[in-house]
Structure 1
Amino acid sequence: MSEPMNTPNSQPGKTPKPTKPAKAPRAPKAPKEPKAPRVPKEPKVPQPPLPRGTVSRATWRDLAVVTALSLIGVWGFAPAFGERGYLLAGIGGVLIGTGAGYLSHRFRLNAFVTGLGAIVVYFVLGSALAMPGYALFGVIPTLTTIRGLALGAVFGWADIVTLAAPVGAPDYITVLPYVAGWIVGLVSAVLVLRWMPRHDRTPGRLAVLLIGPIALYVLGVLIGTQTPFLASVRGIAFAVVALIWLGWRRGSATNASLQERKGLNKNKLIGTAIIAVAAVLVTGLAGSALVPASESRFVLREKIVPPFDPQDYPSPLGGFRKYTKDLGESELLKVSGLKAADKVRLAVMDTYDGRLWDVAGPEAQTGGSGSFTLVGETMPEAPLLKSGSTRSVSVSVEAYSGVWLPVVGYPSQLALPTEPEDKTQDLRYNAATATTVLTSGVKKGYSYSFDADMQDAYSDDALKNVPTADVTLPAVDRVPDVVAAKAAEYVGTATDPIGQLREIERQLKVNGFLSHGLASDAVPSRAGHGADRIEELFTRNQMIGDEEQFAAAFALMARSLGYPARVVMGFAPENVEEGEAVTITGEDVTAWVEVPFEGIGWISFQPTPDEKEIPQDQNPKPKTEPQPQVRQPPRAEKQAEDLLTNVDINDSDDDKKDDDEFALPGWLVAILWIVGIPLVLYLVPLLIIAALKAKRRTRRREAATADARAAGAWDEALDSYAELGFTVPPVGTRGMLARDLGAQVSATTTLERERTDAAPSAPESASGFLTRLATGADEAVFAGVDAPDDRVDDLWSASESSSKIAASAVGWWRRQLSKFRISSRPTNSARKTTPTGGTRKRRRGSSDK
């Protein structure tokens, strides 16, 4: 037998271990199914930059939404105006303002030119939109419409909250919605077209665009009335449009794939529907329960006290007979502090319309009685007053009532009681006429005190040859011709003002007869002082009347002679004892006339005759059966024209003011000041700095040597870059500076292009022009020979081109600021040439800035 074969693992004498059976090989794994290939996202296709001045579709949509919201705001002006004329003005204002903003973007106008152009368009087109009834052919501007457009923009805000709604006057009131829409449209368009494209469309920046429409909406509420105007409809429409626009405008899906974009758009549609339904439900259902009551609505016209308008109250002189007939024995006032001959004045009247002497309204911008101001305890100083004596007077009200506060002289200090009711906020005063008003009125038991200055008295000799003062009073209208004829007859041979006025006063007192029209009077006397009554006074056999007729007639006669006369109504108590209180009754009522004299003050005239027997007419009249007396109703202040007898009106040019004198209207002067002052502050420094820059450029361009002119072109470019706000390195060669500045301009241009989507404004970059300029300047300076003139001209052209590209790369504000900067950067061009025109040798690589 053969020996067993030894294996490496076997040992002699030992039985070898059996070997383990080999493992069965594993079954190979099934290969994994390959994953579906991933669909690559659609790459973002870069949009080509839009030409300068064009508008993208998204921006047009933004502008349309903002304009629609502004029109909803204008719609809310309806309660204040009532008629639909305001819609034409408001809508037109929004569209004109928006159009002006678009033109500003289209032609890249600066802020000053944009504002000036918008103002011009405002006046040119405003006549047809805001005041078509006063425009020529309803379209062409006139002086009336230009004046109204200016006044409405300034005073319309006060008128709209102080006049009762719906407001129909003054004629310029519809300018308010026009100017409001114009301002909002202009500002909104500038923000949408010029500001928004330069920034990311974040919700905060998008919300800025809603400020103008929201302001119009709120303004419609503030100037409206307590009754809301379609609050639910307008509120839902405004909220739905604004919310949907904000949701869709923010968060575009341009970076998503087509499939993902469809999903996002579907979610947006669902979200939009939810927002719309929620807005309708919240504003329509919940809002109706949360809307405050009408009486608790905040509207400005309920919070602002309107200015006092005397035209809202009856003429004091028109109620003269009430005191003599109804209150003759009634105790009206108790006054202490009077002296003999002192009069208590109620009101001063200086305008006449053929029916009444009345207190002029606030629209009469004269030195007369129409302007009443809110005052405190200290009263403003009276013009023309010459006073050497004072009074300390206390008044206690009895049967008197009204808004006209009785005073003596010209009050300087007036104290009103604060208990039980404080009326100090109701006190109004006119210093020119010493007329005092308490808008809440006074009644029995009210008392007050005041200190007053008294007008000095002058003799006729002291007034001889003294002219009347130059005081402008409201015109008098519809004066009978007989007044001027009688005035010319009465003055006789008198030539000086005091002589003529005293003659008229004497003739009225001598030829007239006093009658209050009472049953105890021998001859009846009709009340009133309209044109028919004044004509009757002079055409009857006897002049019969009382203070009402004679004072009114005297004032009209003085006016016919060209003297500024006014009628004063008040009380003249008799038997005044100094230091004792005086009781004033209705029998003490009186009226007199005041005329101002230069350097003297207002002198009073009493043309009413004393009581005397009235002769009966010589022609006997047939006897008639006496009829019971029936009290006639009081004469209405605003009578119809057909209730007056026909009166011949003197329309001759002699009674009219000379209109030939040319004077700029006040509103035009105000506009010139408002526009002129900012214009001067803007243009004067701009022109001075521009002149200095032009002088600097001329000095460099016309230097003595070619190398100096070439170096000047380089220095001029560096100065323009520094003035635009670029950082000019203090050291370095021209080539290094050119590369550095070119990189800055390139970075600024890229950023500006991304913000505005604008195309480059020049085919060559600033870096190319700067490199060419730097190389040419180095050659001209270091060549050792004079450079040709055409070569130097090319360098200056390159300098100007590079500066223009740099200016177009920066924003509007930096360009404006550069106009007001003068670079103080030191230059080396002056040191690069010798006095003889030769060049100095320089080491290679030296700094030549």
Structure 2
Amino acid sequence: MSPYLALLRARWVDVLVPFALVLLALVPLLPVFGTGRLVAAAVGGAVLGTLVATLGAWRRWATLTVLAALLVAAVLGSSLGAPTTALAGVVPTPQTLGAVGSGAVTSWKSVVTLAPPLGAVGNTLTAPYLLALLATVVAVTVSLRTRRPAWALLAPAVVLAVSILLGTAREVLSVPLGLTGALVGLLWATWRTGRLQQGRPVAVLVLVAVAAVGGTGAGLLAPGGNHRLVLREVIEPPLDPHDYPSPLAGFRSYLKDHREDTVLTVTGLPAGAPVRLATMDAYDGTTWAVAGSADGSGAGSGTFTRIGERVEATVPEDAVTVEVELGEYAGVWLPNVGRTYDVEFAGPDAVETARNLYFNRTSGTGIVTTGLRSGDRYSLVATPVIEPPVSALEGAPLARVDQPELSGVPEMVVAEASAMVAAAETPLARVQALVGGLQEGYFSHGLEGDAPSLAGHGAARLAQMVTDELMIGDEEQYAALMGLLGRAVGLPTRVVMGFAPQAVASTGPVEITGDDVTAWVEVAFEDHGWVPFYPTPDEDRIPQVEEPEPQDRPQPQVLQPPPPAQEPPEAPPMDRDEVDAEEEDVPEDEPLSYTLLIVLGVGGSLLVLLLPVLLVLLLKLIRRRRRRTRGSGSGRVAGGWAELVDRARDLGVPVTAEATRREQAREVVESLATGRSTRRRSPRPVDVSGLDTTTLAGYADAGVFGPVLPDETAVSGYWDHVESTEGRLRRAVGRRRWLRSRVSLTSLRKGR
């Protein structure tokens, strides 16, 4: 049997336990990625790290050699970190190396800014791959090459903490995982050091069971609102929906410019299902707008995040695939259907478009920051929203939803809302009272040949609807008005804009024109979600015009020019360069978040990479401090000599452990003078004329075996002598050899 296999056979427990603990610490990332590729990346990285660590222990590699081997292993296994760029998902390509190289810095940002599940998108798997690779190298190396195995548990603990920070908020696995990993690791470390007494395993197993059950129970019974801290909840994606014009502000443009034109062509649209464009729950006195996390609207409005592999983690069996091709439609708002679970773009710009897609799961609204244009194609996996029957809503309470505060609501609208629901006793009755009252109004688009009806839904326009003798408008005004009326009487309402084709076939393409544009209101009911209501009167309900009325027709034509002035938000978001100076608050937040993420990514990667070196330096510092400050005077003097001998061993000087101190002193001087070394490559001889190791050994023997115990002054003086000797030794061997000895594990492997 080869020496390497003999090492693995003799120390398999010391290899297996750190390996398993690192993989256990990566379990919280499973719901984040939601793909088997994560398992491959974690296991593959852990296997490569274990291989490097065991080879380093067998060949007694120095720290720099282990780091070089680690870099080679990371390159060979780079396809695990970016499988979509590798040949057949296995063989690395130059693109794979570039993706993993950049992913060492950027993948951490992607993990916390993309909405789960991430799948194997881009180079996001680089983060768990590097965590597994680096952590196993550190843990297995410490386990095999030191006499303090408990330090090997530090690497899995760090990985578990990072996994929790990169994970999702609603998970209870971290408590039992942390307890199980800690107790198993402590049990192994106790057994490794020979301190596990007979009868203790039973007590430890009982402790493990009680802690795991108690921790899991505490996690399950904890209040749902107390989420743990994760980075994705702290670092908001750099997207403010207010940077883009409200889609409802351009409602009339579809009727004026594209009434007969094909705006969308949809294939596979479920019968009766509308196409949703955007959900709006914020009002500022001028327009209904899409809210999000950037305006502090709270959880009710949801947040816009970049999606990973899918919009939702799981797709129900009854979901359907809907194909969408854009015609005359252009804008940033993504037309979708019902509850969307996945979006997949097609065409030459599909990758770039998908990379700029942000989706708000709570409101079902998508934004493509680079904009959509005629000819773009994509497919949706969605389920249509099923409206509950009225009988099911009769006794249903309203849902508790956090929504942004409204501003600029006219007082007469609030007064009208109270009057309309005065006789209603249930939530459904209040909604029906508002819908019925508004449907008593009249319908008009205000176009040529229609009754006068101004566009827009600002405060003055909606106040005019409730104060004029004739309430008149179209879906834009009635939906906007009901949204305000409902909020005024305590109803959780939001306004939705979209398209409702007149006839929908179960299969085959459906052409949606500008005349199909519509808007409606949704009210949140407990156990039923957001239920749609349509307050707009029938299109054939138009005001009857008296004979003298035609004389007043020129008036609407005089007033008609103002509507274009009410639609400045239709300016493309790409033209915002001219107003950057007025919106300095947004650019200040975005670079800060990105800078913080880059600093965290670079700092975290460097910290993990330098963790072996820092750990070795820390162990040596603790050992030196213990030798100098603990024990009796004679013990501290002996510790000073032991410290000097360990420095010599780290330099590659062969020192016999069983020899006397004077013999060891001669061995140090002779080995340095002749170039003898335990290393494979013998160093050059050095000048040892300035070393007085023999005198130092004599002082140590006198302090240990002398008739009088050394006092504090003697101990301090001896350690000063040791430090001066180390300084002369450092100058003799040179800076490079001395620095390499500082990170050598030789003295940590040897017994004291």
TM-score with structure 2 length normalisation? 0.48
Q: Looking at CA atoms only, which structure, 1 or 2, has the larger radius of gyration?
A: 1
